[in-house]
Structure 1
Amino acid sequence: MEDNGNTPTINRGRLRWLASRHALLELDIVFRKFLDEHFDSLDEANLAVLEELLALEDHDLWEMISGRRECTEARWKELVGLLRAG
């Protein structure tokens, strides 16, 4: 995607790196599979959502992905569903 000055382009390499840096092994496993299966097909909007999810604390993120806590953010639901299905 070309940067027109209005919207920053998401750095895919940085997101891939962030997705592999968790304190919980469970998250590393889930994200490794998710990245292998879906990362290349994500558009800029979903990459931005992924960046938001990766900014969450590991335990909060795991609670949501594991289904122990409901995903209350509408914009996160699609990716959380893909992560859960992994």
Structure 2
Amino acid sequence: MDERERLNRLRWRCTRRAMLEMDLLLGDFLDKKFSALTAEQADAFIVLADMEDLELWPLINGSRECADSVQADVLALLRHVRVK
């Protein structure tokens, strides 16, 4: 799979969520911040994007702690995205 196809699949996962808020947040993060992530952070974001909304939302809003330090860094970046 080439990089463009990989990014298109990730965009699909980020913008076809059960919660509209997650569509907007993850989609904007992908557009604004993803290209600046390290490879390790990008992989962590992909893992987060694969989570179900009900599992991911508490991590984003801080009501549940994240055990993985790289994912925690990405979550901190997600919390600072300004949605359109």
Same fold (TM over 0.5): yes
Letter in 2 for 1:45: E
1:37 to 32, 37, 48: 32
**2:58 is aligned with 1:69:** no
Give the superposition deviation at 1:51.
1.3
Give the superposition deviation at 1:82.
0.7
Give the superposition deviation at 1:23.
0.1
Counterpart in the other structure of 1:3: none
Q: Which runs of 5+ in 1 are unaligned?
A: 1-8
Counterpart in the other structure of 2:19: 24
State percent identity of aligned pairs.
Answer: 35
2:17/2:23 contact within 8 Å kept: yes
**2:47 is aligned with 1:52:** yes
- Judging changes above 3 Å, is the alpha-carbon distance between structure 1 residues 11 and 17 closer, same or farther for their aligned structure 2 residues? same
Give the superposition deviation at 1:77.
1.1
Q: More helix per residue: 1 or 2?
A: 2
C-alpha distance after superposition, 1:63-86 (max 9, x if no partner): 110111112211201110011111
TM-score by length of 1: 0.77
Secondary structure (helix, strand or coil) at the match of 1:11 reads: helix
- Alignment partners' CA distance in 2, 1:46 and 1:59: 22
Rg larger in structure: 1
For the aligned residue pairs, the C-alpha RMSD in angstroms reads 1.8
Give the superposition deviation at 1:59.
0.7
TM-score by length of 2: 0.78
